Amino acid sequence: MSKYHRLWAVAAAIALAATTAAAGRGVVIVVPDARDLARVDAALTAVNQAANQTVNQGAEGHVCLTADLGPAERYRRWLAVLRGTVRVVAGTRAAMFAPVRQLGLVVLWDDGDDLHAEPRAPYPNAREVLALRYYLDLSVADTAATLRISEGAVRSTASRGLDALARALPKEP
């Protein structure tokens, strides 16, 4: 990807994230490596500074979650997201699990990159986790509209899936 295309992609993702957060919804941006995260973080910081100059919000605009932060700082940021004081999370693979409230946008940067797949069990892939999180937050009616199927089909498919999961899990003693 050329430098121009990378810059355009960052600008588009940040504009979508800012619009989504301004509407009161949460955003998760997952990037493959620290270099891409630094780019996204710089762009988010610039947007937050511009927004705070125009509207004196004082609220934290976004957080970055990476393993490099160390456990204490990462936990402090995780709690800020959990409490809802931060709506936009950017980070490497583990950020896909950030407890963002009212998820309105997920951005998976360079989804073909091998770094999005966890090499250790249970092998979560960022694309799959983010897609499931999106559908988890939808109501039955919204899921049906998104998938263009009936609400009954959504309910019956969910019921069959839960039954299959119950059969696959070991019985409690």
- Model pTM? 0.76
pLDDT tens for each residue of 72-115? 999 999 999 999 999 999 999 889 999 998 888 999 888 788 87
pLDDT tens for each residue of 10-27? 788 888 888 888 888 899
Query: Is residue 32 located within the same domain as residue 62?
Result: yes
**Confidence category of residue 136, pLDDT binned at 50, 70, 90:** confident
Query: Is residue 39 located within the same domain as residue 109?
Result: yes
Q: Kindly report which listed range (40-44, 47-51, 114-118, 127-131) carries the lowest average pLDDT score.
A: 47-51
Query: Is residue 77 located within the same domain as residue 158?
Result: no
Domain containing residue 111: 3-136
CATH of the domain at 124: 3.40.50.300
Q: Where in the chain does DSSP place strands (E)?
A: 26-30, 62-65, 88-91, 103-108
Query: Is residue 108 located within the same domain as residue 63?
Result: yes
Angle at 53 (CA atoms; ends 52, 59), nearest 5 degrees: 15
Query: Is residue 80 located within the same domain as residue 98?
Result: yes
Query: Is residue 86 located within the same domain as residue 160?
Result: no
